[in-house]
Every structure is written in C-alpha cells, then in structure tokens.
Structure 1
Amino acid sequence: MPFFTNGGGASEISAKNISVNVDLLNDPTKLAAGQTSAVDDNRNVLKMLEIRNTSIAFTIDYIGPPAKTTVIGEGKPDDILKTIIASLGVDTQQAKRMHENQSMLTEEIDIYRMSVSGVHLDEEMSNMIKYQHAYNASARMITTVDEMIDVIINRMGRVGL
C-alpha cells in the first residue's frame, strides 16, 4: 500500500493534496519497517549501505505550465545532502547581501529626496537673516525719503524763519 495518497481525491498527487495514507494512520502495524520479523536480520542495514554507495539523482518535477524538471543534485545521498546544505548557505548569504544593498539604496534615495524637498535649517536661517537685513534697509530708505519730502514741503520757501 502506498505511504502517501492524494487526500483531496484528485487523480495525481501534488503539493496541494498530498497526505499520509489514512489506513497507515489508523493502523501503524501495516507499515512495513523490514522484510522479516527476525530480530537479528540485518538485510535492511545492508540494503541501506548499498543505497548509500549508489549514485542517485534528486530532482523536482514541476507540473504546471511550463512543465519542467530541475536536478537538485546527483551522486551519493551524502553528496546530495552536502550540496543542498551548501546551496542553502550560499543562497542565505546572497539574500542577506541583497537585503543590505537594498536597505542602503533605500536610505540613499531617502536622503536625496530630503535634500531636494526637505527643509535645511541652516539654509533657512541664513535666508531669514538676509531678508531681515533687506527689510531693515528698505525701512531706512523709506525713512530717508520721508525726511526728504518733509524738508521739501515744510521747510522750502520759508525765508527768514
């Protein structure tokens, strides 16, 4: 009897519907753990040693469009496991590096955006002082013009006063 079944009743087993056979869950004694029931039988160990030294291929078959097969590793089971662990380590390191690069890039873009659209306090303070001096100069100019007009209107033409 098969160990895995399609729990959803579909015709093929897929990642969506895979489940352990209900008959094995209900009665674990149906699970064949060895070829005989003898205590000193070591055929299973010998079979495992034979498999351990056999070259195998670990593949993943994709059903959906496009259907394809990806070879994860080829060789002895130990070599395939080492390949998977090494690939995971390299992929993890690359993901960390990509995260750091993306974080720095995002930070640089934020700094640039703030430099273009943000308020720089030193620049604003210098502009405020500049405009204050311009206002004071304008006020002095108006005062000077006012005094000139006062002299022209009130004091000209009055002789002997």
Structure 2
Amino acid sequence: MDGLLSDAGEQNGHLFVLATSNAPWDLDEALRRRLEKRIYIPLPDENARHRMLEHFLKEIDLSDVDLAQLATRLERYSGADVQLVCREASMNPMRRLVEGLSPSELVELRAEGKLSMENVSVSMSDFEDAIHRVQPSVSHSDTQRYLDWQKDFGSQ
C-alpha cells in the first residue's frame, strides 16, 4: 500500500481503501497497522431489523404479521439472516399450495395463473416456522470475540 500513488506521478494524489473482514483477528499485523480506522459494525439493532423487514417484505402480501414483534424476536440475526427468514416465510404459503400435487396438476395451476405470490398471503405462523428453521449465523461467543478485537485494535 505504501507508494501506491507514486506510479501515477502525482505527489498530491489521494487514495481511499475500504476493506472488510468477517475475521479481523486473522489480519496480518503489518496490514492492520496500515488501516488507519478499524471500525466494528455490530449486528443490526431492533430498529434496523424492523426497517430490513419492511424492505424485504415490501412486495409481499402479509396477514396478521407484526413486524415490530418480529424485529424483537430476531435479536442476534445478521442482515443476511433477516433476509433469509423473510424468504423462508414467504415460501411457506407456496409450499402449502403445491404440497401433494402432481407435476401435471402444477402445470395446470400455473397455466391458470394460480401459482403466483399474488395469490398467497404470508402470516405470522409462516414467520414462526421460518424462525425455527433459520438460526442466527453469529453466536454469542463470536460477538464477544468481535467486541474483544474492537477493544484491542479498533478506532475510537
């Protein structure tokens, strides 16, 4: 990274490097020294999870779904985990619709336009099922490891 702009012939050039890591403790000490700011981005808080739910579900027909309650229940879930819960819950009504049908029956339903997400509604029970299927990808010990690293090497 040192001297990276010297090849460009510009003495006053600016270089901005943005790096991310899910395992910052594996970064080489020399690289870590050159990264001026080391910032820990925690898992989304309840408000952020609520906004994510609104975003991921904006085109999904919901019935009796309490997004505020879901946001609370999804503590320790990453953004990707929240998205996966939404996808899993959204597929449940479709799974129920096609369960036990033969391929020819599926073709017929599709031809009639009945195999569309517009014809199904996602309920709170679909989310309950999805939460049981999708566990958070970040453990308590992982979170503590990030906090310890931030304390030792992070920027204030």
The TM-score, its normalising length taken from structure 2, stands at 0.22
User: Highest CA radius of gyration, 1 or 2?
Assistant: 1
Q: Normalized per residue, which structure has more strand?
A: 1
TM-score scaled by length of structure 1? 0.22
